[in-house]
Every structure is written in C-alpha cells, then in structure tokens.
Amino acid sequence: MVHARWAVACLWSVVLFVGVVAKGDAEDNTVNAPPLQQVISQAGPEYRLGPEDQIRVSVWENAQLTLDLIVRPDGKISMPLLQDVVAEGQTAAGLSNTIHDRLLTFIKEPQVSVIVLHVNAPKYFVIGNVAKPGTYPLRSETSILQALSLAGGFTQFASKRSIKLIRNTTGKQEVRTVNYNKIIDDDGEGNYLLKSGDTIVVP
C-alpha cells in the first residue's frame, strides 16, 4: 500500500513538472502585439503633406526613432540614421513606406506608422449643398471648379447659379456671386483662383 501511494505521488510530481515547463515555453514564445495607436490623425488618407505640417513617426519598439516632427520649408524631415527624408507631396502612408524602406538598411523589418498631428497649410472652406463640406488645404493653385470637385460635387438641392465666394481683403469682406453654368459654358468665366481663407458657399 505504501509503495502504491509513493508511486502515485511520483506520477503527480512528473505531471506538475511537465505542466510548468510547458507553460514556461509558451510564455517564452509569446510576442507582444504593437501598442494601439492612441492619437487620431488630423487628416484623411489622401491628404498630402506640406511645409509646417506636424507629424508623428512611430517605429515600434524603437524610442529613438519615434518622433514628433515638423515638415521643414524645404519639404523634408530629419531622422536619426536616415538624415533627410522628403515628406512634401506624400501621404502619411506613402511616407511610412519610404521610411520603412530606408530603415531596412539598419533594422530588420521595422514597423513604421505616420500620423498627421496638425495641418498647417493655407486653407479654404466649402460649405452648403456639396457632398463633402469642410476645410481643405490650399497646397497649389486651385480654382473654384477644382474646389467643388474636391468637395464631391453638388447635392440635388444645390443652387448652382448662386454660388458665393467670400474673401477677406484688407480687413473687408468681399462677396462674389458665381454661376456654375457660366463657368462650364462661357470659357471659365467666374472660375476664380482661391486664396487662403476663402469660403465657397453653395446655397
């Protein structure tokens, strides 16, 4: 009887030992997932970066390469290892890919993300009966027709003949009435180039 109890005790000891070893091996092989991104990008996926924009570049598990940066007037950012990287004209995803590719020389399969913290480009505004009213960056010459296209075009209730362009000039508000039909029919009459701060109102 004593021998039987001793055998059972030995058997349980072996089982417990194996269980502990297996658990330890499982924990050793666990890879922590990248932390969830806590900051929400201030620009859409199609937004293209420009001078003075503030961005956050994150390289997982590399604090030295996780940085808040401002795009310089020459359109570049500076990072350790990479020196200058052209950011102007790229989307956040495109810049992320560029940084990833260049880091491959120094790091094996770096996990890179880029988000836009602040958009500091000149802006114009489109409000009223358009598909996507909102604030838009003025990166290059943009006409009213182009702005309306970027805003997704008109809704079914839009009054195309009574569009207003509101512009602040030397402290005074200037309002111009724009007829969409004339823009497309009369050699572009009224298709003004926008300036920073302009507002297009589609009643």
**pLDDT tens digits for 25-60?**
333 332 333 444 466 777 778 888 888 899 999 999
CA 38 to chain centre: 13
**How many Cβ atoms sit within 10 Å of the Cβ of residue 130?**
22
The residue with tokens 């009224």 is 190
101: its two tokens: 């590719």
Contact between 56 and 68 (Cβ < 8 Å): yes
Distance of CA 59 to the CA centre of its chain: 16
Residue 89 is encoded by which pair of tokens?
Answer: 């004209």
Cα distance between residue 108 and residue 93, in whole Å: 19
- 63-90 pLDDT, tens per residue? 999 999 999 988 899 999 999 999 988 9
Domains annotated on the chain, with CATH:
54-118 (3.30.1950.10), 123-202 (3.10.560.10)
**Which of 48-52, 86-90, 97-101, 192-196 has the highest mean predicted lDDT (pLDDT)?**
97-101
Question: Can you read off the two tokens belonging to residue 26?
Answer: 């499982």
* Closest CA relative to residue 98, chosen from 77, 119, 74: 77
User: Quick one: tokens of 74?
Assistant: 């020459």
Token pair in block for residue 199: 């507002």
Q: Distance (Å, rounded) from C-alpha 23 to C-alpha 6?
A: 26
Please report where in the chains the tokens 């195309």 appear, as a residue.
Answer: 160
Indicate whether this model's pTM tops 0.75.
Answer: no
Range of weakest confidence among 50-54, 75-79, 96-100, 154-158: 50-54
